Amino acid sequence: MTLRALGEAEGIPVGAAVAAGPLQANARYWRILGREFGMVTCENAMKMGPVHPAPGRWAFRDADAIVAFAARHGQGMRGHTLVWHNQLPRWITGGRWIRTTLARALDRHITTLVRRYRGRIGAWDVVNEAVDDHARPRPTIWRRVIGPGYIEQAFRSAHAADPDALLFYNDYGAEAAGRKADAILRLAAGLLRRGVPLHGIGLQAHLALDHLPRWDGVRTNLRRIRDLGLQVQVTELDVRIRLPVTPAKLRAQADAVRRLHDLCREAGNCTAFVTWGVGDAASWVPGFFKGYDAGLLFDRAWRAKPAYRALLGPPRRMR
Collapsing DSSP to helix, strand or coil, 284 comes out as coil
CA 210 to chain centre: 22
CA distance linking residue 266 with residue 222, whole number of Å: 9
Nearest approach, Cβ of 286 to ligand G3I (angstroms)?
A: 11
One residue of 43, 175, 238, 299 binding ligand G3I per CB under 6 A: 43
Residues between 48 and 77 that touch ligand G3I (CB under 6 A): none
313, burial (CB in 10 Å: exposed 0-12, middle 13-18, buried 19+)? middle
Q: Beta strand 200-203 with 206-208: parallel, antiparallel or unpaired?
A: unpaired
Nearest approach, Cβ of 170 to ligand G3I (angstroms)?
A: 7
Nearest approach, Cβ of 236 to ligand G3I (angstroms)?
A: 5
Nearer to ligand G3I, 139 or 147 (CB): 139
Nearer to ligand G3I, 117 or 284 (CB): 284
41 near ligand G3I, judged by CB under 6 A: no
CA distance linking residue 6 with residue 37, whole number of Å: 10
175 near ligand G3I, judged by CB under 6 A: no
Residues between 193 and 252 that touch ligand G3I (CB under 6 A): 204, 236
CA distance linking residue 191 with residue 151, whole number of Å: 9
Q: Are 180 and 174 in contact (CB under 8 A)?
A: yes
26 near ligand G3I, judged by CB under 6 A: no
97 near ligand G3I, judged by CB under 6 A: no
294, burial (CB in 10 Å: exposed 0-12, middle 13-18, buried 19+)? buried
Which DSSP state fits 213?
P
100 near ligand G3I, judged by CB under 6 A: no
CA distance linking residue 118 with residue 162, whole number of Å: 6
Nearer to ligand G3I, 60 or 192 (CB): 60
One residue of 24, 87, 93, 100 binding ligand G3I per CB under 6 A: 87
Nearer to ligand G3I, 42 or 263 (CB): 42
CA distance linking residue 248 with residue 270, whole number of Å: 29
CA distance linking residue 6 with residue 18, whole number of Å: 20
Binding mask 245-284 for ligand G3I (x = CB under 6 A): ---------------------------------------x
One residue of 31, 53, 86, 194 binding ligand G3I per CB under 6 A: 86
Type of residue numbered 277: G
Nearest approach, Cβ of 171 to ligand G3I (angstroms)?
A: 8
CA distance linking residue 21 with residue 184, whole number of Å: 34
Contacting residues toward ligand G3I, per CB under 6 A: 43-44, 86-87, 128, 172, 204, 236, 284
